[in-house]
Structure 1
Amino acid sequence: MNRWAGLAAGLMLAATTAAPVMAQEPPEGFVWYVLRELNDFGFDIEDPTNRPGFITAIPAGVLVPVDLNGDARSDWMIAWPDSAQFCGTGGCRRSLYVATDDGFRRVFDRQVLEMSIGRVEGEIRIEAQVHHLECGDRPEGCLYAWAWTPSMQAFDERPARDGWSRIPLAAPLIDSGEDDEGRPLLPDNVPDALYAEVEATRSACPAPGGGGWYWNQAEVRDTPDLNGDDRRDWLIYPVVTCTAPPERGFGLWVTGQGDSVALAYQAPPGGRAEFEVSHRPATVMVVPGCPTDESCPAVPLQWNAAEGRLVD
């Protein structure tokens, strides 16, 4: 049994032990989606006869019923096959869908090196080993953990079983991909104010050495809850323009009434944000940019309700 076959078996075991899930056939939509992805990979638009044999059956262990939110309805995991189509240096792709009253909603879709699902401290958690570039100052092979949080209807960061609770933001739980022109797409739930901020930074820059262009824009990410309202908050990393570094650092935005957001902290240039998630709301750790031969201590920020901002 190879590593990923063993992992798929382990995931199936974790799915059955995380919470009671009635075994059932996957919905037809999932079957159609997986078969489409498997068959599209071998399609040659220049010569449609140049292709492998047509796949008509889902490989064993690819569609797995799981319970991600404790409501006793079957959610679904797609443990995509171990192949160049779905795997890379960051591991293999795993997709999770939560059942809703209207169908299913995608809540996790990215590459991971390893993954497990189970109950920890009364919560259903997923834990994944990620690419070392997502580990920050942690040892290579670090783990990230997320728990399903009913108030958010989303997965929220938790300390991993290796004891680490101060984390940089890993890659998004869902890779939104790019549009037809190669511009990174933003998640559907990005607030309008932040969408406008990112749109204002978009520019096409000439590739170094000539030979084309690339899209440049600020990066927006959701973060752990920072102001105690049980909702995800937001971070924007500034864009490096085509010719110069940014004039300001990252910005932290917190949710307010309705769909409103407000800037709660603007960092100076050169630093990054990490999050202490051993308690809720999370504490922001501002890590300043420092020369490589110096040690610069991080500055913790916590929510000050009276001032409506994050303060040290």
Structure 2
Amino acid sequence: MSRLWRAAGVLLAAALVAVCAGCATRTPLVEARGHAELVQTPFHPQQQYQCGPASLAMVLGASGVAATPESLEAKVYLPGRHGSLQVEMLAAPRGMDRLPYTLDGELSAITAELDAGRPVLVLHNYGLPFWPRWHYAVVIGYDSARDEIVMRSGVTERQVWPARQFMRAWDNGGRWAMVLLRPGELPAQASAGRYLEAAAIFEKSATVPATQAVFSAATRAWPQEPVAWIGSGTAHYRARNFDAAAWDYEAALALDGSLAGARNNLAMALLEKGCPRQAQAELDKLDPGALPTALRNEVEDTQRQIRERGASTAGC
């Protein structure tokens, strides 16, 4: 028995040495590119369970929108859940002309936004998978030399955590993070698909000028993306700039002539320009029987408007 204990002791000692050696040579999580801290980020200490409104008010303030937790409570706080869901946290800024953009679940995506001057709202889970304790915080800085993350969190204005502690809580929270973009801004590590998806949702509740700026940025960044031109065309159409709308829809169709929705939109823009014959010519390129029901109904409505205005008119 004593021999077994002695062997176990040797193995335990060896294991401890290995663990300590691993700690000593552990690779830092924060990439070695210096440090950043956005000290001008507003701070709003949270009330009980209200980390959502407080955190959102901070990132809104950093993006130039004056907001308080109290002004956001009705928009994002769910009393029955004692907290806020991501869907509300994403929806509220859109009505204030700020584009919420969710980041890749990598620490480098967070530090890139900090380098660009934008604080990052993150979701942590301090509990267990079967008993979560959700918490929103705002990352305002990092230090690669110390491998640390700096946050505004809860009632603490400057909370400094080791990067590994931050990653554990962020891992447990599903690595969800978002930034708020001013109209016309692009994320530091922009994904065309993710940005355009966010922009398409944004246009439903944002003002027309903000939507125009968002899609204009997309056409500059990804000129080969038809969706960017369609979004820009729709924003111009809403602004009653039908010349620009028609130009954008034509750009989308030049990239992909099979986009029936864009062709119907082009016909509508041409009709509003006073060009019913040209509008009809665009619809003649479509096969209504091959279209989904909803789009077919839209095409039929455009056709009706052309008839009412007179397709035989000389037009443009």
Q: TM-score when scaled to structure 2? A: 0.26
Q: TM-score when scaled to structure 1? A: 0.27
Q: Which one has the bigger helix percentage? A: 2
Bigger relative contact order (CA 8 A; separation at least 6): 2
Q: Which one has the bigger strand percentage? A: 1
Larger Rg, first or second structure (1 or 2):
2
